[in-house]
Amino acid sequence: MSGVLDVIAWFLLVVGALLSLSAGVALIRFPDLLSRMHAATKPQVLGLLLVLIGCALRLRDAVDITTLLLVAVFSMATAPVAAHMIGRAAYRAGQARADLLVVDELADADDKR
Amino acid sequence: MTVVAIVITTLLAGGAVLALVRIVRGPSILDRIVATDVLLAVIVMSIATEAAFSRDATALPVLAVLSILGFTGAVSVARFAIRRQAPADPPSGRDADRPSSDYQAESIDLPDSLGLPAALDRRPPEPPDRGDSLSPPDRLDRPTEEVR
């Protein structure tokens, strides 16, 4: 039973680490800030959750799992706020490339800047 | 198990190095914030992986601290970047080039969104003429009502 849990934990850790590498590659190759933000959320939410679940499967202690759950709740509650602030700052600073946007709902707004 | 540890370390280090390259090369400060967030996520994942492999939960409170600290840094630097980069009419405009009244009018949406009390809000009663706020205009009336 514990061997099975260890194998699952290693698999989740490897997948989470793979997501971090993919985010690094995307940070280098993607053209503008909004697409880089899209890539950056993968290790921040999914990769972090996978790694935390893998860590919890390895530790198997109630106190440790509570701490890991706290980390997960913190990061999932704060990541959307930070991403919203960065995206808003990027759009208002003119960093979003207009030719890459499919829909620009703020294009006609008077107070967008 | 050692092979898995080497693979995970290689993947995490690759992601961290590529995020560092974006931090160095990033054309704007917002690119650097995004890359710093990725780097922080990689660091958190590294500490959690180390805790998982050594079955040692000593470093777990560090993860909670890091997840809050990264959020605080990202939000504060994003607010700073709004203030620095909002005047896009001159592309390389600095704060020193503009008169001080414009500077006051631009920094008004800082305290309200950060949840500070209204007594700290020293905004002028008239709405800003630059119109650079995304918030509704009735928000400007609230501090004077609370002062009375």
Identify from A29, A71, A88, A97 which residue to disrupt to test chain B contact, counting B C-beta atoms within 10 A and taking the largest count.
Answer: A71
Q: What is the pLDDT of residues A42-81, one digit of tens each?
A: 999 999 999 999 999 999 889 999 999 999 999 999 989 9
Asked whether the beta carbons of residue A67 and residue B75 sit closer than 8 angstroms, the reply is no
* Residue B96 exposed, middle or buried by CB count within 10 Å (0-12, 13-18, 19+): exposed
pLDDT at residue B37, as a whole number: 92
Q: What is the dihedral of CA B62, A42, A62, A78, to 10 degrees?
A: 60
Q: What is the pLDDT of residues B21-65, one digit of tens each?
A: 999 997 888 899 999 999 999 999 999 999 999 998 899 999 999
**B74, A81 in Cβ contact below 8 A?**
no
Q: With 80 as the cut, is the pLDDT of residue B100 above it?
A: no
- What value does the mean pLDDT take over residues B80-95? 55
CA B115 – CA B132 distance, rounded (Å): 20
Residue A104, CB-side half-sphere exposure with 13 Å CA sphere: 14
- What value does the mean pLDDT take over residues B96-119? 47
- Of residues B130 and B29, more confidently modeled: B29
| Closest by Cβ to B34, choosing from A68, A86, A88 | A86
**B94, B102 in Cβ contact below 8 A?**
no
Asked whether the beta carbons of residue B134 and residue A112 sit closer than 8 angstroms, the reply is yes
**Tell me, what's the ipTM?**
0.90
- Where in chain A are the domains? 2-100
- Where in chain B are the domains? 2-85, 95-147
